[in-house]
Structure 1
């Protein structure tokens, strides 16, 4: 038995909070009863059981056995294992029909654009720089913007593709910038952690990855959610869009 990224995306907010708690504390979660897990996550046993069934398991015992078996297969420490498990689920999930169709639509937009502009702030700003260089090295003219308001001054928006990187999908400056880009009929792809965010809803295409959110113990406002899936998405888009000059049908 295994579960996929597409199944994880079907979890509601409460079920996702239980799943996040399991990923954050794999060693402990494997030994908890369904009632103990419900108490720990301030949910109910019904929520825990719904989560396991949504993921494709018969119940909590079945799911717990799966976690124990997978953990025994890994030789890495659990803190490494957690991110690798999430990445493994994500990479398996992007082969689903739904996600593949989104990727194909994104690739079509990239191929039809005169050039691509990556926009992000903070860590996402650094990823924007990397992404622009990766696209450029792949033969796709690209630029990175760390000041979202800079993007508003451009013209000929119909021929420019904006790729917005935002973990939260709720950054005020980016939302404001996207609103102005929308007024100019700009094309927008967003890459966010969750698909049900303000930025994702304002985009032509949203590519989400649904990783457990993590924050710095040094500065609780600093988001340390893994960006491994973002790098994967960027590299997939660049490779596929640079294969030839024909727009995907």
Structure 2
């Protein structure tokens, strides 16, 4: 299912650069998304503390001729989101569309050759780590969930599998670096081009900009569960 505007606002995965003032306009449009079709450009400028020239630049950078066309496509997105089917599965489609499934084959190959796995996740990801551990145990892997670096140091012949939605948590980055510096394999499910992604030997990534989500959304693990399930399915059937 294709959305012209909402996914762009939520992920901010764009090829063009925006100034801070233009980012503020995007933030305002995202916050008032359902109300924007009723706005005039003058009202938007007043409430977003922006100039009309800045609004026009934002519209053009998003690929539209002007504010009227932007409003048209926002209304188009809203109608899709409000349909009975879309309202129930919109979040799932959003996550699926922002997962890079091409990273799976290499990880599957590594796991098949390394069946002793330490799983590391903090916060909400620790709960997901327990789910991942159960799935791996069903497949006959020796999988252990750890949440402290001293625990990790006790396992010499294990690989490390990190679950980190943002890929920027300091403790997670430290653990990943320490493990890799010893010449060991680090795999991750994490944010594309995050620090953990860069550290990892191999990674299964998503494109969701965690910093653009509210506090509750940042804690949600639906995309991580989808990624784990896909990985387990490939391990089981591959």
The answer (yes or no) to whether the contact 1:11–1:51 under 8 Å persists in 2 is no
What is the match of residue 220 of structure 1? none
Q: Calculate the TM-score normalised by the size of structure 1.
A: 0.70
Equivalent of 1:237 in 220, 224, 231? 231
Offset at 1:115? 2.6
What is the match of residue 192 of structure 2? 195
Specify whether residues 92 and 172 from structure 1 end up closer, same or farther in structure 2 by C-alpha distance, changes over 3 A only. closer
Q: Distance in 1 between matches of 2:207 and 2:172?
A: 19
The answer (yes or no) to whether the contact 1:131–1:234 under 8 Å persists in 2 is yes
Offset at 1:49? 2.5
Which moved further from structure 2: 145-154 or 229-238?
A: 145-154
The number of aligned residues is 224
Specify whether residues 181 and 12 from structure 1 end up closer, same or farther in structure 2 by C-alpha distance, changes over 3 A only. farther
- Deviation track 1:65-112 (CA, whole Å, cap 9, x = no partner) reads 2332332244479xx95x954531331344xxxx33222222222222
Give matches, 1:26-41, under 5 Å: 26-32=33-39, 36=44, 40=48
Q: 5+ residue gaps in structure 2?
A: none
Q: Distance in 2 between matches of 1:76 and 1:125?
A: 35
Equivalent of 2:164 in 153, 163, 166? 166
Q: Distance in 2 between matches of 1:46 and 1:65?
A: 15
- Deviation track 1:186-244 (CA, whole Å, cap 9, x = no partner) reads 2222233x42332222112331241542115xxxxxx7443211111010011111214
Specify whether residues 38 and 202 from structure 1 end up closer, same or farther in structure 2 by C-alpha distance, changes over 3 A only. farther
Give matches, 1:119-130, under 5 Å: 119-130=120-131
What is the match of residue 48 of structure 1? 58
Q: Tell me which structure has the larger Cα radius of gyration.
A: 2
Q: Which has the higher contact order (CA 8 A, sep 6+)?
A: 2
Equivalent of 1:87 in 88, 92, 95? 92
Which moved further from structure 2: 225-234 or 103-112?
A: 103-112
